[in-house]
Copies of this chain bind each other. A is one copy, B any other.
């Protein structure tokens, strides 16, 4: 069965989405990710979408939901690698991803997570 791999890097989990999301694979990702957070005690999640040429409202909702699930397990999510065309589409279509932080690339996402953890009291 097709599933999106979750890579552990220290206390951050990295999810690279390359395949077209559909219901089953999205549910599988949420299941895998929440289990992995529980198992590893990860404090951050980086979701990379640099391979996606298109983000529609379905994928937007999946990402927002996944981020909310991680949050209740005390792991902050950063969405990275968004293509310029995707950013344009998101705004033009009015697709909102409430509570999802974004960064340009994985490196900045990881930096944002470390900074966030260093300044927990501010949040």
- Measured CB to CB, the residues of A under 8 A from B are 3-5, 7-10, 14, 16, 18-19, 48, 50-51, 81, 105-107, 110
Contact = CB atoms under 8 A, between A and B. Distances in A.
Contacts of A19: 18-19
Contact of A18 (B5, B10, B81, B106): B5
Query: What is the oligomeric copy number?
Result: 2
Given A16-B16, A19-B19, A107 B8 contact: yes
A5 B9 contact: no
A108 to B, nearest CB: 10
9 contacts: A4-B18, A5-B16, A5-B48, A5-B81, A8-B105, A9-B107, A9-B110, A16-B18, A19-B19
Contact of A8 (B4, B51, B106): B106
A9 to B, nearest CB: 6
